[in-house]
Amino acid sequence: MFKSIAKLWRKWHAALRTGRQIDGLLAHADPRAELASRNEWLIEVSHWLHREGSIASDTAQPDHAPKYPPHVRLRYLLQLLDRNPEWKERVALTLQSIVRDSDAMTLLCDSGMPAHSGFIGALFERLQDSLIPPAPNTRDLSALFTLVFPSADDAQWVAALPRELLVKLGELFAYREAEQTRDDTATAAPKTGAPKSQSRLSLELLAALHNLAGQIASTGLSKAIRTRLTEQRLDALPFYKLPRAMLAIETASENETQDETDLHALRKDQPLLQEVNYLRALLDECHRSMRDVHTHLNDNGVSVDIVYQLERMRARIRRTERLLEAWLAIRLQGESIEAIASLFADLIAANRASHSVGNLIRSNFSLLARKVVDRSAEDGEHYVAYDRKEYFHMLWMAAGGGLITAGTVYIKFFITSAHLHPMIEGLFAGINYALSFLLMHFLHFTLATKQPAMTAPMLAQKLEGIGSPHGMDEFVRSVVALVRTQAAAILGNLVLVFPVCLAIQLGAHYLFGANLITPEKAHKTLHSFSLLGATPVYAAITGVLLWSSSLLAGWADNWFVLHRVRDVLSYNRRLRFVFGERGASRYANFWRRNISGIVGNLSLGLMLGLVPSILTAFALPFEVRHVTLSTGAIAVSLGVLGTATLDAGELWWAVAGTASMAVLNVAVSFTMAFQMALRARPIQRRARREINRAIWRYILTNPFRLFFPGKTESA
């Protein structure tokens, strides 16, 4: 009992203290103070609205917790003002003076849309905003919104304000303003010709619409956008017509205002609505034009800056439609308090989103990610065997890759036996890997662990068709074919690399009586591959490097297409003089076909050689654990140590470690590539469950298809 009484006492005392705090704030409102002081006062009121804890008005009903606590505090604040007319007058005049002395253009036009025209500039701007908050002495209303509405939930509770609170807030902002507005309008009307019934908010919205129309037109008529449109006539573009459409709306609005005799005159006269509908039609045409630009990017490569400009222009078009809706509601219905509250809730959310670095990256890299994985998907089709002919061809290509890897293994041993500086040794090892991978590429051989990063985007691309039975069946068959092909590629690599490496060592020992590596090096090699050590971790990191090389390959292919390098090479005067017109064209086509493979193989080889040396230099030990290379190293060690090693535990622990490499190399690179592809094409959880059921149903019906294709199975 005493605890309950103490709890109630503490709660009542906290509510009383909170009430005294807001009493002091309301009593100290000063409309004649400096703008910085008035802004600081408004920020303190906002902090009080966001503060946790009960107040005197909600202590009577402790069991009914409101959904939005700021609603309760705002209701209490308005009740205090109704009971104290002097406070109400000072608070109302202070709020009106803040709005009057602030610039709303940035809030209406640029909130949620950074001022910079490129992605890098916008990124640095948001990083700077996250580190340096705005000062309260600013005239920028968007900066004041950042300080007054700091929470991520502010837009929600503002949008959910009850009508009774909205009406009281509207009365507060219009308190003692009617007489002043009439006096100011009567004084200014002979000079400016401003319409009498146009409120300050209506004029602000109209000015913002003019600003947005000009920005959209400027971006749409820029070279980066204009040259990628199917429509070539400048005067036929919707961006060219936007500013004149806004002028027509303003003219129609002024004419109707001057002829207005009652509130329903605007609804009777049609010119304003006709001009508004024409503007909306132009905005729809702008959306279609941007889709044309996206189509051009899909066919000719993606630029991050162009994607950023398109997204910003799309956001400006949506903002124009939103402001136009609010302005029209005010013009037709007077001061529509619900429309104003909804608009400002959207502005609060947009203003907060404009400071989010993650939001910028997600919104601008989705198309680029899709483009990169699309480029990889085109190559990924070549690494999936659907029928028996393709399956045996994959075994042949994988066997060729294993043969070349055998030479790579021995060259790597020779490099390490020279005991060079770690960075020099890593450079030579990277060159060794890169040259062997490039040789595989030009001989059309394959390395098993390179496939997952290429085939995952191809698999994600097929997700677009899972809505139909045929598309789902095709996707499931592709999954099964992918698993089967990957197993065949690993088998082909290992079946040849192991006996070739072992045969070379045994042949050298038989012919020359010498081992190609020392027994100490052989024992150290087996021990380093043990499953009990760091092998699984190193194998997973190697999978990340495999995925990174595929990402670089997709980026290089996109860059080549975006900058039209093939056309540049085809029409190069020097190349035509040396090779002739056909020779220059063949040279350009060679690079178009092979740029992705060259960059991918070269980057993978250099990363496998240099990354361990660089990380080790920073006291982060790492060694490459690649299943094919490690299998060849085990074969060499077995040839040096002899059959006695078959009874030793270190050999079998090394074999187990190599098996983990096969799983982790493939799983990590595939997972990262597939997740990136899914980000470019998000699917719902229900679709994922349907995919899982379809895959398991196919496997249970055709279990043998996981290991060997049927005669008639095809893509």
- pLDDT tens across 411-422, in order? 999 998 888 898
Average pLDDT in the 551-573 region?
A: 85
184 is written with which tokens?
């100011």
What proportion of the chain, given as a percentage, has pLDDT over 70? 78
pLDDT at 196 > cutoff 50: no
Angle between helices 69-83 and 2-27 (to 10 degrees): 60
Instruction: Tell me the Ramachandran region of residue 53: left when phi exceeds 0, alpha when psi lies from -120 to 50, beta otherwise.
Output: left
Determine which of 78-82, 183-187, 691-695 has the lowest per-residue pLDDT on average: 183-187
Say what the pLDDT of residue 364 is.
57
- Which tops the pLDDT comparison, 335 or 400? 400
Under the banding of pLDDT at 50, 70 and 90, the label for residue 442 is very high
Residue 592 burial (C-beta neighbours within 10 Å; 0-12, 13-18, 19+): middle
Torsion of CA 560, 561, 564, 566, to 10 degrees: 70
Enumerate residues 6+ apart whose C-beta is below 8 A from 150: 46, 50
Residue 64 has pLDDT above 50, yes or no: no
**At 138, phi and psi to the nearest 5?**
-85, 150
Instruction: Name the residue with tokens 């913002």.
Output: 208
Q: How far apart are CA 439 and CA 671, in angstroms?
A: 27
Indicate if the pLDDT at residue 433 is higher than 90.
yes
Which of 52-61, 115-124, 595-604 is predicted least confidently?
Answer: 52-61
- Output the pTM of the full model: 0.65
- Cβ atoms < 10 Å from Cβ of 115: 12
Asked whether the beta carbons of 637 and 518 are under 8 A apart, the reply is no
What single-letter amino acid sits at 516? L
Confidence of residue 239 (pLDDT cuts 50, 70, 90): very high
Tokens of 313: 């222009």
Contact in structure between 493 and 402 (CB atoms under 8 Å): yes
- Report pLDDT digits (tens) over 467-481: 777 778 877 888 788
**Per-residue pLDDT at 677:** 65
Q: What is the DSSP letter of 228?
A: T
Query: pLDDT: is 30 or 357 the higher one?
Result: 30
Q: What is the mean pLDDT of the chain?
A: 80
Mean pLDDT along residues 359-372: 60
- 272-299 burial: b if 16+ Cβ within 10 Å, else e: bbebbeebeebbebbeebbeebeebbee
Residue 591's alpha-carbon distances to 444, 595, 602, in angstroms, are 16, 5, 14
Over range 38-67, report the average pLDDT: 69
In this predicted structure, the answer to whether residue 9 has a pLDDT above a threshold of 50 is no
pLDDT above 80 for 449:
no
Task: Give the chain's count of helices (H) and strands (E).
Answer: 29, 0
For residue 378, the surrounding DSSP H or E stretch is helix 357-380
Average pLDDT over residues 270-291: 89
Greatest mean pLDDT among 51-60, 85-94, 150-159: 85-94
Nearest alpha carbon to residue 331 among 171, 209, 198: 198
Residue found under tokens 């604040």: 77
Helix axes 35-50, 85-101, angle to 10 degrees: 120
Q: Is the predicted pLDDT of residue 463 greater than 80, yes or no?
A: no
Give the separation between CA 559 and CA 508, rounded to whole angstroms. Answer: 47
Q: What mean pLDDT do residues 319-338 have?
A: 80
Cα→Cα distances 617→378, 426, 534, Å: 38, 11, 18
Question: What pLDDT does 189 receive?
Answer: 42
pLDDT above 90 covers what percent of the chain? 23
Quick one: average pLDDT of 286-299? 84
Q: Residue 5's pLDDT is what?
A: 44
Residue 280 has pLDDT above 50, yes or no: yes
The pLDDT-based confidence of 359 (bands split at 50, 70, 90) is low
567 CB neighbour count, 10 Å cutoff? 11
Indicate whether 436 pLDDT > 90.
yes
- Residue 483 pLDDT class (50, 70, 90 cuts): confident
| pLDDT at residue 2, as a whole number | 40
Return the pLDDT at 23: 75
Query: Average pLDDT in the 46-66 region?
Result: 61
Tell me the two tokens of residue 101. Answer: 């002395």
Q: What is the mean pLDDT of residues 606-615?
A: 92
For 644-688, the pLDDT digits (tens) are 888 888 889 999 999 999 889 888 887 877 777 666 555 656 666
Would you place residue 603 in the very low, low, confident or very high pLDDT band (cuts 50, 70, 90)? very high
Mean pLDDT to the nearest integer, 51-56: 63
Does residue 491 have a pLDDT over 80?
A: yes
Cα 213 from Cα 476, distance rounded (Å): 48
Arithmetic mean of pLDDT, 146-167: 85
Identify the weakest region by mean pLDDT among 24-38, 300-314, 439-453, 619-633. 300-314
Give, as one character, the DSSP assignment of residue 134: P
Tokens 């997709």 -> residue: 554
- Given a cut of 60, is residue 303 above it in pLDDT? yes
Higher pLDDT, 379 or 16: 379
